[in-house]
Amino acid sequence: MPTMGGLAIFIAFNTTNFFLLREQYPLGQLFALFVAQCVIIFTGVIDDIYELLPRQKILGITLAALVVYFLAHIKMTTITLPFLGVISLGWLSLPLTLIWILAITNAVNLIDGLDGLATGVAIIALSTSAITGYFFLNVTSTFVSIMMATLVAALLGFLPYNFNPAKIYLGDTGSLFIGFMISVFALYGLKNATFITVIIPVIILGVPITDTIYAILRRLLNKKPISQADKHHLHHRLMQMGLTHRQTVLVIYGIALIFSFISLMYPLSNLWGSILLTIATLVGLELFVEAIGLVGDDRQPLLNGIKKVVLRLSRAVNKSKK
C-alpha cells in the first residue's frame, strides 16, 4: 500500500500553480511558499520512511513556518479587539504566527486516522475558506481563493483513491502538507486580525481543532504525556460506539459541514450576534463531546449539571401538584 499520497497532491497543486496559474500570483510569494512546502514535504517523507520523533517533526514544521514568515512575509501583524481597537503585535508577531502554523498543521495531522478522513475534512474546510475569503472577507486578493480552490481540486482528484477501502494513504507527507497549507491560507485573513477573521478559520477547522484540544485535555487529566498516542480520538470514539469505518468518516464529514455552515453566518452577523453564535456553538460542542465520551465516560460536567437541574425542576413540579 503506497503511503506517500501527499506527494501526488503536492505535485498536482504546484504543477497547476506554476504552469497554468502563474500569472494569477505574486511570483516572489509563490516561490517562497514553494520553498516552505518543500521543507514540509521533506519532513513528511522522512517521517513516513523512518518515523520521526515528535520534536523532530515540530522542528521541520517550524523551519517551514520561518520561511513563510521571513521570505513569503505572511504573518500576523495587528489584531483589532472589540472595545479596544487596533493593537500592534510587534515582537509577538513571530511567536503567534509560528504557534498558529504549528497548531493547525499538527491538528490536521492528528485526524488522519481513517481512510479519506483528513482529505475530506480538508476539502470541506478549504472550500468554505475560499468562499468566505472571496465573497465576504476580501482577503488580500482573489489569488488566495484561487490557490485554495486549486488545492481543493488536487484533493478531489485524490479522494476516490483514498476513501475506504483506500488504495493509497496520505501519509504524514500528505497530512502535514495539507495542514500546513490550510494554516498559511488562514494567515492571509489574520494578517490584520479582527474578532471575525480569527473566529471564522477556527470554526471552519472545528473538527481537527476540537479533536486536538480534547486530546491534550484528556492526556493531562489522565496524567499522560501530551505526545503519547491513544485510541480515544473522535473517530475512535465513534467507531467504539458501533459505527463502521465508512459511517464514521461520513459522520465526521457531516460535523465538518455543520461547522462550515456556522462559519458562513459570521460575516452576516453583527458583533453581539457573533458572540452569541460562538457561545451557542461552544455549548453544543461540549454537549456532543461529553455525549460520546471524548475526554472520558466519567467526565460529563455539563450533562450532569443539566440532569441535576432537570431533576430539581421535576421534583418542584411534583411538589406543586401535591
Tell me, yes or no, whether 321 lies in a domain: no
Q: State yes or no: 109 annotated in a binding site.
A: yes
Tell me, yes or no, whether 57 lies in a domain: yes
Tell me, yes or no, whether 109 lies in a domain: yes
* 44 pLDDT tier (thresholds 50, 70, 90): very high
Work out the number of other CB atoms within 10 angstroms of the CB of residue 169.
20
Tell me, yes or no, whether 229 lies in a domain: yes
Which has more pLDDT, 119 or 309? 119
Tell me, yes or no, whether 322 lies in a domain: no
pLDDT for the residue numbered 281: 94
> Given a cut of 90, is residue 135 above it in pLDDT?
no
Mind listing the pLDDT tens digit for each residue in 218-248? 888 888 887 777 788 899 899 999 999 999 9
Parent domain of 220:
6-315
What value does the mean pLDDT take over residues 35-45?
96
pLDDT for the residue numbered 61: 96
Inter-axis angle of helices 271-292 and 195-204, nearest 10: 30
Number of domains composing the chain: 1
Tell me, yes or no, whether 120 lies in a domain: yes
* 64 pLDDT tier (thresholds 50, 70, 90): very high
> Given a cut of 60, is residue 80 above it in pLDDT?
yes
Tell me, yes or no, whether 320 lies in a domain: no
> If we measure between CA atoms, which residue out of 114, 79, 56, 311 comes closest to residue 231?
114
* C-beta separation of 150 from 185 below 8 A: no
Q: State yes or no: 112 annotated in a binding site.
A: no
Q: Describe the chain by its helix, strand, coil percentages, rounded to 5.
A: 75, 5, 20
Residue 252: all three cell numbers together: 465526521
DSSP-assigned states of every residue in 155-199:
HHHHHHHHSSSPSS--HHHHHHHHHHHHHHHHHHHHTEEEHHHHH
Q: What is the pTM of this model?
A: 0.91
* C-beta separation of 101 from 180 below 8 A: yes
Tell me, yes or no, whether 54 lies in a domain: yes
Mean pLDDT over all residues of the chain?
Answer: 88
> Given a cut of 60, is residue 139 above it in pLDDT?
no
